[in-house]
Amino acid sequence: MVGERFFRHINAACWDPEVRLQEMDRDGVDVQVVSATPVLFAYDRPVEHALDCARLFNDAALELCSRGKGRLRALCQVPLQDIDAACRELSRCMRSGHLGVQIGNHVGEKNLDDPGLVTFLQHCADEGAAVLVHPWEMFGQERMPKYMMPWTVGMPAETQLSVVAMILSGGFDRLPDTLQICFAHGGGSFAFLLGRLENAWHHHPVARAESEHPPSYYLNRFYVDSAVFDQRALQFLVTTMGAERVMLGSDYPFPLGEEHVGSLVRQTNLSPDAKIKLLGGNALRFLGLEGESPNAASGMAAGSSSPVLPSPGQLTYSSYLKVPELLELQQPQSVPPHHDELLFILVHQTYELWFKELLHDLDAVVANLQKAGAAPQSRDEVYEAARLLRRCTEITRVLVEQFTILETMLPTHFLAFRGLLEPASGFQSEQFREIEFLCGLKDEKMLRYHRPTPEAYASLERRLEEPSLRDVFFGALQAMGKLALAVEGATERERFEARARAVHELYKDEHHHRDWIDVCERLTEFDELVVSWRLRHIQLVERIIGIRMGTGGSTGASYLKLTLDKKFFPELWEARTLLTE
């Protein structure tokens, strides 16, 4: 109720922190800044009443926040009809934990260019208090009795009026640039009509008023929120104001608020970096939380499980993992992007990331087996090689499974963009070929697919020259005296059989060679899983393009079937045939 008049139904989210926190969790909001609703400003009441009212709400807001597990912070309100009283209440609130103040965009007839209000804003800057300007008591209401027009037409105009008043009065010229001030609802109609204002400023001296510079000069002096409810409007707002100047605004929990806070920003086409700014980075700066310690920034007790907010320059989840850069790396070729092309790109990229980890681990396995060969009595390296090989098998198991995700793509959907991919093909996967070469399957002919990329070509040439995992494994067995040096003139077949017999010897003496048998088992399993990968890949290919030719120029599935016989460690398989009961 406002006086005797019904104003609005409200729900528990207005007073129950638990409800707020649940809804914040639902929407993925870490920290919320709460303020009383503008109808409670009481600027038209005697100052004592307004001050009582402000104190009541300000203390209640802090009490509510104290039950918010460090995730609720508050903006106070002040009796703005009396500047001294307003300044005193602001100082009291800042001392007791408020982050700033929410003010109405006018006090009766006084706009933000009123000297008293400018004095108050100066005081806010001195106190380091963030100022949120909210439109209220919309003008022209006698002409807007219907259709909720005061909210949809009046409010945006009120806000625009305030920004224009601040600029043209020279308010921004006089106030320090440390003042953190934000105008609600995207700054109302300001951004859209900035061109008109700018034009007037340049052509009509009277429209320049006291401002030293054209209006667009002051865009970096204030923030606006993102509550514009339309993708194109948000894009435009960010283009006009800059991504540093727009921050998530929700109007939560009122009827004109976003149903799921943040969804507009999250769904927009802005760059990931810009989204991060809009979703939190800018607010941290605006609220003066950037410099605080993470715990203080989120207002929580040490040891609590509430979120911590990073200070500038500190490592964050995103900056450590380079999430924005990562999310920039999916660039569909189809225009407009075909829905399934993102999946196609992501699945391939995921494979490549795991290939990278496989190479990393397989290189470490090689290094460990080399050390084991150099010091045959030491067992640590053999255990470490077996441990890392287990990781390789687990990764490959995931890689075999992952094809099922791509199989949710209909053949027709793939064909819709396949033509754009030629001549790109899995043949050109440098890392896949590196894994083959590193494990021992060295096929020089495959280099030709990498001629267009000299760096890849050079890495593969190096892999061809370096000892493979297979070489290093048998080198170690040789150093242990399990494998005789090959006699000169021995055929490749004879060498192969000698190596298989060496493995056979290990298995026969399980008691002494448990660690090496473990390495053999892991290598065999890895080999087996890579064949499973080849088979699942073929099934996928047949399911999606039948027996068509590949984009890399091969005969497609029938070529790939020939690769099924490839083994990294054939001697390990041969040894099984040699074993008898």
Residue 426 engages ligand HEM in binding (rule: CB under 6 A) = yes
Among 552, 573, 574, 578, binds ligand HEM (CB under 6 A): 552
CB of 554 to ligand HEM, least distance (A): 3
Residue 92 engages ligand HEM in binding (rule: CB under 6 A) = no
Q: CA torsion 269→273→279→283, rounded to 10°?
A: -140
CB of 572 to ligand HEM, least distance (A): 21
Q: CA torsion 338→343→348→349, rounded to 10°?
A: 100
CB of 462 to ligand HEM, least distance (A): 19
Site string for ligand HEM, 349-388 (x = CB under 6 A): --x-------------------------------------
Q: Which is nearer to ligand HEM, 57 or 414 (CB)?
A: 414
The dihedral built from the CA positions of residue 560, 563, 565 and 569, taken in this order, carries a sign that is negative
Residue 417 engages ligand HEM in binding (rule: CB under 6 A) = no
Residue 440 engages ligand HEM in binding (rule: CB under 6 A) = no
> Are the CB atoms for 112 and 165 separated by under 8 Å?
yes
Q: Given the rule CB under 6 A, which of 25-33, 319-327, 424-432, 479-487 is the region that contacts ligand HEM?
A: 424-432
> Are the CB atoms for 524 and 575 separated by under 8 Å?
no
Which residues ranging from 245 to 304 are in contact with ligand HEM (CB under 6 A)?
Answer: none
Strand partners of residue 34: 74
Q: Given the rule CB under 6 A, which of 29-37, 58-66, 140-148, 533-541 is the region that contacts ligand HEM?
A: 533-541
Residue 425 engages ligand HEM in binding (rule: CB under 6 A) = yes
Tokens of 271: 């760059």
Among 553, 558, 564, 576, binds ligand HEM (CB under 6 A): 553
HEC readout, 277-307: HHHHHHHHHHCCCCCCCHHHHCCCCCCCCCC
Scored b (16 or more CB within 10 A) or e, 265-280 reads: beebebeebbbbbbbb
Residue 540 engages ligand HEM in binding (rule: CB under 6 A) = yes
CB of 438 to ligand HEM, least distance (A): 14
Q: Cα separation of 414 and 540, whole Å?
A: 12
18, HSE (Cβ side, Cα atoms, 13 Å): 0
Amino acid at 35: S
CB of 442 to ligand HEM, least distance (A): 13
Tokens of 334: 């189809």
Which residues ranging from 496 to 515 are in contact with ligand HEM (CB under 6 A)?
Answer: none
Contact footprint for ligand HEM (CB under 6 A) = 347-348, 351, 406, 414, 425-427, 429, 432, 537, 540-541, 544-545, 550-554, 556, 559-560, 563
